[in-house]
């Protein structure tokens, strides 16, 4: 069984390495070949186009940056669907729109393809350790067929319903993270102004009712001055905008998420789009 993987960014690289460790042969494509060198050195085989990946693999994963990138990967002139073999599986792990996930599934079904949307949570650490949370939408039978592969890269795999449901679950996840990231940032700003020991505070809050993933994983990075992207600010901003667009369609008002979107938009305007989401604290530091 040969797997295909489109996208060798921070997350994709960790996932591909774990698939290789599990002895799955993997053929890969990335817009910039140099960024795929790490997985090529570990045994992945390079393909020149997404179409070439689909020609070689019956199960193809994609994890790219934006919905427009997903559109190009699947429907472009050299896209996956140009040479997709009947009854092949295609799993988009990009955090994208539920509408696009449904479109891919509907068009894929016409050619007897099995389509899943399966965005993940867990950041670069989860990708490296194989401990991602995977949120799946599509046909349950297709989900069950691929569960063994999902278990190589994740420890929590949840099936949520038909096409688009995985993306809706990821939007709910991102709404929650928006709150924990603003909470973490303002906690540290407040505590520093009050002259508290920040390392001691992280331990105290992290073992109490304020414990959360953002605090445990990004708190220490902030104190170390490490703003390298476990998850890019520009991608989180994209996610928040998708979530707010979907909220409008559901006739919902999400004021806290709206504020988070404004803060991350300001970060991008200040040239912090390629920093990790924990760089949010720089907005507060710059106002002193």
Do the Cβ atoms of 194 and 234 come closer than 8 Å? no
The yes-or-no answer on residue 170 being catalytic is yes
Q: What residues contact 142, with CB distance under 8 A and at least 6 apart?
A: 89, 114, 115, 116
Q: Which of 128, 139, 170, 238 is catalytic?
A: 170
Tell how far CA 117 is from the center of its chain.
12
What is the torsional sign of CA 177, 179, 182, 184? negative
Do the Cβ atoms of 60 and 4 come closer than 8 Å? yes
Closest CA to 280 of 179, 175, 182, 173: 182
d(CA 197, CA 216): 16
Return the active site residues.
170
């Amino acid at each position: 069984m040969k797997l295909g993987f489109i996208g060798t960014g921070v997350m994709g690289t960790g996932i591909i390495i774990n698939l290789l460790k599990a002895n799955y042969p993997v053929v890969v494509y990335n817009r910039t070949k140099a960024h795929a060198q790490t997985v090529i050195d570990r045994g992945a085989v390079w393909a020149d186009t997404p179409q070439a990946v689909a020609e070689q693999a019956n199960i193809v994963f994609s994890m790219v940056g934006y919905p427009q990138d997903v559109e190009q990967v699947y429907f472009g002139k050299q896209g996956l669907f140009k040479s997709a073999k009947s009854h092949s599986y295609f799993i988009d792990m990009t955090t994208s729109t539920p509408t696009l996930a449904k479109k891919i599934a509907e068009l894929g079904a016409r050619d007897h393809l099995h389509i899943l949307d399966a965005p993940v949570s867990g950041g670069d650490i989860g990708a490296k350790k194989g401990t991602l949370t995977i949120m799946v939408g599509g046909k349950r039978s297709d989900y069950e067929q691929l569960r063994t592969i999902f278990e190589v890269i994740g420890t929590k795999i949840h099936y949520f319903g038909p096409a688009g449901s995985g993306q809706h679950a990821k939007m709910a996840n991102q709404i929650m993270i928006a709150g924990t990231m603003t909470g973490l940032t303002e906690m540290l700003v407040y505590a520093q102004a009050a002259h508290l020991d920040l390392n001691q505070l992280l331990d105290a809050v992290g073992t109490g009712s304020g414990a959360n993933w953002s605090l445990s994983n990004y708190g220490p990075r902030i104190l170390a001055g490490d703003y390298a992207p476990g998850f890019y600010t520009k991608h989180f901003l994209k996610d928040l905008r998708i979530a707010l667009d979907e909220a409008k369609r559901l006739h919902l008002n999400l004021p806290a998420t709206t504020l988070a979107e404004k803060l991350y938009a300001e970060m991008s305007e200040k040239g912090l789009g390629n920093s990790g989401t924990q760089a949010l604290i720089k907005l507060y530091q710059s106002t002193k």
